[in-house]
Amino acid sequence: MGKRIIWVFWGIFIIVLAANTFSGKTKALVKTKEFPKNEPGLSLGVITDIEMLNRKIFAVENNPQRRVLVFSEDGQYLNAIGREGYDEGELKFPILVSGWDKEIVVHGDSVFSFFKEDGTYLRRFNAFIQAISFVYVQDKIYMVGANRESKNLIEVFTRDGDYLTGFGEKFIKIDYSLFPKVKDHPWGMELIVYHGNLLTDGENLYYLNSMFGKALRYSLDGKRLVEKDIVSLFGPGGREVLKENERQYIRKEIEPSITFEMFADAYLCGNKIYILEQKQPTIDEYASGKKAETVIKVLDKRNFDLFEEWKVRKSEDESLSYLTIEERNGEPIFYFTQFIKDKPRTIVEYRLEK
């Protein structure tokens, strides 16, 4: 009788262990759609950012045309916002996009241009600060900018361009005497060292730094709520990136050359932050034949704790750069910008494998 109970116990233990092993860790994303396809006269150029708003996808095309392309969630091309130019409603060098309520804001060369979803121009203002990342929320622009003259990590403007406030301490101290080439540059090294993503859920701001692995959560009025080191989320690769970036940009043991990042992009949807990571094998793993893989890290937005990691099942030649996410029936649907050498660029939809 006693032995039978022990065997039953071990049986349950093995089943639970197997369920955990094969459910959480083996979740994967698979491609379910690719667009635009057979759209006359439409081919995607260089896409530098992508955003989801009101079930539409907004993709910033920076080259050869300067505009924002709008697609429905099922991949139908709807319209373009802006065109190349210097005048109001035109875009000279669009890089970033953010949407809130029914407005889309496009940023490039320190200018914020506001449009309706259908492309109607609304207003613009020049902040004279190049944004590294920004969000438009509650009628305000919150930006992490490349501005040496400011002590704040985040600057806040009204939608009409009035400067409201700044908050958050810059956590990277640059010794500019080590960098004579950028001594007189208004950006200095800021554009590089503060590279990352500023995200919002309408109540808080979340900033994830991809160069030095720091995550911060603030209330919209600037109160710091959480600060966390997220380097360990990226394992030995993360520690190696941190070490390399400190050598290049903090201690300048070597001339800054190649920029390394812990992750490629991040997006907030629901209660989670999704991080797109291009995971490279370590030297030992590489020697044993392991290849690079793309994963999505799922974080708890409240404290940046890691929930899960999902593999993105894609072909080796396919490169995914930016992501946006929509939650439908509780399931996240991912849209990535895709690049395959010698093939037209596309946006690809991925879903969790059933």
Partner 1 sequence: MSAPKKTICSVLILLMFSLIQFAPGFQSPSTAQKMPLIPELEKIMDAKTTTIVLLYGYICLGCPLGIYIYSVRDRQDTLFVVPSQYKPNEVENLRRAFSLKCRIVKGDDPNIEVFVNKLGEQLKIDKTQRNLILEIKDRTIVKIRYY
3-state secondary structure of 9: helix
In 270-305, the DSSP E strands lie at 272-279, 293-300
DSSP string covering 103-138: EEEEEETTEEEEEETTS-EEEEEE-SSEEEEEEEET
Site string (256-285) toward partner 1, x via CB under 8 A: --xxxxx-xx----------xxxxx-x---
**Tally of CB atoms within 10 A around 284:** 9
The amino acid occupying position 110 is: S
Judged by CB under 8 A, the residue of 5, 149, 173, 255 near partner 1 is 149
127/335 Cα distance (integer angstroms)? 30
Should residue 240 be labelled a site residue for partner 1 when binding is judged by CB under 8 A? yes
Q: How far apart are CA 200 and CA 133, in angstroms?
A: 11
Regarding 113 and contact with partner 1 (CB under 8 A), the answer is no
Q: Give, as ranges, the residues between 179 and 218 that touch partner 1 (CB under 8 A).
A: 181-182, 184-187, 191-192, 195
Nearer to partner 1, 124 or 301 (CB): 124
* Candidate ranges 44-52, 114-122, 222-230, 297-305; the one touching partner 1 (CB under 8 A): 44-52
49: contact with partner 1 by CB under 8 A? yes
Residue 255 interacting with partner 1 (CB under 8 A): no
Residue 178 as a binder of partner 1 (CB under 8 A): the answer is no
Question: Shortest distance, CB of residue 13 to partner 1, whole angstroms?
Answer: 37
Smallest gap from residue 130 Cβ to partner 1 (A): 6
Q: Is 5 helix (H, G, I), strand (E, B) or coil?
A: helix
Q: Considering only the stretches 4-12, 14-22, 136-144, 230-238, report the one whose residues sit in contact with partner 1 under the rule CB under 8 A.
A: 230-238
Q: Does 65 bind partner 1 (CB under 8 A)?
A: no
Member of 74, 84, 109, 229 binding partner 1 (CB under 8 A): 109
**Cβ-contact 144, 215 below 8 angstroms:** no
Q: Which of 131, 78, 86 is nearest to 107 (CA)?
A: 131
- The residues near 23 (Cβ < 8 Å, ≥ 6 apart) are none
Helix (H) or strand (E) holding 334: strand 331-340
Kindly list the residues in this chain that would bind partner 1 in the complex (CB under 8 A): 46, 48-49, 62, 86, 92-93, 95-96, 109-110, 125-130, 132, 147, 149-150, 157, 160-163, 181-182, 184-187, 191-192, 195, 234, 237-238, 240-241, 244, 258-262, 264-265, 276-280, 282, 292, 319, 321-322, 339
